[in-house]
Amino acid sequence: MTAEAEHHLLETTLDELKHLFSPRAAAGETMVLNMGPQHPSTHGVLRLIVELDGEIIVNAVPDIGYLHTGVEKNMEAKTFLKALVMTDRLDYLNNMGNTLTYCLAIEKLMDVRVPPRAQILRVLLAELQRLGSHLVWLGTHTTDIASQSILFYAFRERERIMDIFEMVGGQRMMTSYFRPGGVWRDVPAGFEEAVRDFVNNYLPPKLDDYHSLLDNNPIWLDRTKGIGVIDAENALAWCLTGASLRGSGVNFDVRKAMPYSGYEAYEFDVPLGQNGDVYDRYRCRMEEFRQSIRIINQALAKLAKTKGPVITDDRKVAPPPRSELGRSMEAVIHHFKLWTEGFSAPPGDVYAATESPRGELGVYLVGNGGPKPHRVYWRTPSFVNLQALPVLSKGHYVADVVGIIGSIDIVLGDTDR
């Protein structure tokens, strides 16, 4: 490209974006600055175009799509079961939760019942995943604005969760353990002890450590209190969900509001903030650690009492157990049909939602009578929450942007799909 053509391209691109900035930017009074997509503290490939008056933010325009992988298009080309493995790869900190949401949508569309033991396992693993995701959030968030050490502590703790996932699914992250109709197979011996030890003996003292490192840390308080404030009314108008909404004092948690997988049978509280600033969102997530531990303990108690199958016996959806293949022709046919053609979903559409660590994660699924989904739409919390970033960051210092991004806990794989 010649220098002239390059200049022309730059001019036209800027023209298209002109309406996003104040007239002062064109006059040269304020500065338009590019931030990202390769920036250590934007949690992935997020690009921000910020307009600055000195160090104060006049406007911030997020530019996303750098991690767009066309998952929705790809899923349309695969059978329901083959598309399942792609769900793990969307929000790479909430692998279990993504698969769970997709399975819930399929089960709703196909009208499949999930056995009780599988329900309990799903809740248990989804909450472990929440702990893991919150640990990464805490580590990266604190590294961005106050202290480096917690990142290393948090990843050390998360490693234990990865070990448990490897135990049940054979994989650390991309487990694909939840399947339509239940879970892949029952948990191995030693699973319950490993979880119990982790949530009761290992994690609580570490959480106390984090609190003692941060709660009275003047730098941390300075960088979080009164920063990125959004009130309840505005948060609802922008349809924020998750801790980003609850930090402003709105009691909305999908697990309570629209229970799935038997969450109505668990006792837990929904922590709420008051001021809707970075600090309150931090407090909410820290309390969610304790609530998840509560849920996991209840799930462990239920698991010990509930024996039985872990996947539906509807052979049109779930494969027969391996042991049946040797003696039942019927089982062989089902197995063959499932792994070649797959199962067909009736025409119709459903919406299923779960509470991901970031907020409401929804799947809108359309069936057309065939074995492939006609349309899979992912309503991802990061995508919706990130939209409010300009509102949150206006009037703050440019250095606070990284804190605000950390506090809405975005994952770019979730945003860009």
Binding site for another protein (CB under 8 A): 1, 13, 16, 19-20, 64-65, 68, 70, 72-74, 77, 108-109, 111, 236-239, 252, 257-258, 348-351, 353, 360, 362, 364, 366, 374-375, 377, 379, 383-384, 387-388, 416-417
Which segments of 225-277 does DSSP mark as H helices, in order? 232-237, 243-246, 254-257
Q: Report how far apart, in Å, the C-alpha atoms of 9 and of each of 4, 20, 26, 33, 65 are.
A: 9, 18, 18, 18, 20
- In angstroms and rounded to an integer, the radius of gyration of the C-alpha atoms of the chain is 23
CB neighbour class for 188 (10 Å; exposed up to 12, middle 13-18, buried from 19): exposed
Q: How far apart are CA 410 and CA 377, in angstroms?
A: 19
Kindly tell me which of 286 and 388 has the beta carbon lying closer to another protein: 388
Kindly tell me which of 110 and 227 has the beta carbon lying closer to another protein: 110
What is the number of alpha carbons within 13 Å of residue 361 lying toward its C-beta?
Answer: 30
Distance of closest approach, residue 225 Cβ to another protein, in angstroms: 26
Distance of closest approach, residue 183 Cβ to another protein, in angstroms: 22
Kindly tell me which of 275 and 387 has the beta carbon lying closer to another protein: 387
Distance of closest approach, residue 236 Cβ to another protein, in angstroms: 7
Distance of closest approach, residue 61 Cβ to another protein, in angstroms: 9
Distance of closest approach, residue 279 Cβ to another protein, in angstroms: 24
Q: How far apart are CA 97 and CA 100, in angstroms?
A: 5
Distance of closest approach, residue 230 Cβ to another protein, in angstroms: 12
Kindly tell me which of 265 and 366 has the beta carbon lying closer to another protein: 366
Task: Provide the residue type at 20 as one letter.
Answer: L
**If phi over 0 gives left and psi between -120 and 50 gives alpha, with beta otherwise, what is residue 70?**
left
Kindly tell me which of 19 and 305 has the beta carbon lying closer to another protein: 19
Residue 290 neighbours by CB distance under 10 Å: 14
Kindly tell me which of 204 and 348 has the beta carbon lying closer to another protein: 348
Tokens of 45: 């490939």
Distance of closest approach, residue 341 Cβ to another protein, in angstroms: 19
Kindly tell me which of 195 and 365 has the beta carbon lying closer to another protein: 365
Residue with tokens 């929000």: 91
Kindly tell me which of 225 and 256 has the beta carbon lying closer to another protein: 256
Distance of closest approach, residue 258 Cβ to another protein, in angstroms: 6
Kindly tell me which of 238 and 279 has the beta carbon lying closer to another protein: 238
CB neighbour class for 192 (10 Å; exposed up to 12, middle 13-18, buried from 19): middle
Which segments of 146-215 does DSSP mark as H helices, in order? 149-169, 191-196, 203-214
Kindly tell me which of 77 and 85 has the beta carbon lying closer to another protein: 77
Distance of closest approach, residue 77 Cβ to another protein, in angstroms: 5
Distance of closest approach, residue 395 Cβ to another protein, in angstroms: 18
Q: DSSP states of 60-92 as a string?
A: EEEE--TT---HHHHHHTS-HHHHHHHHTTTST
Counting runs of H as helices and runs of E as strands, what totals does the chain give? 19, 8
Q: How far apart are CA 230 and CA 119, in angstroms?
A: 36
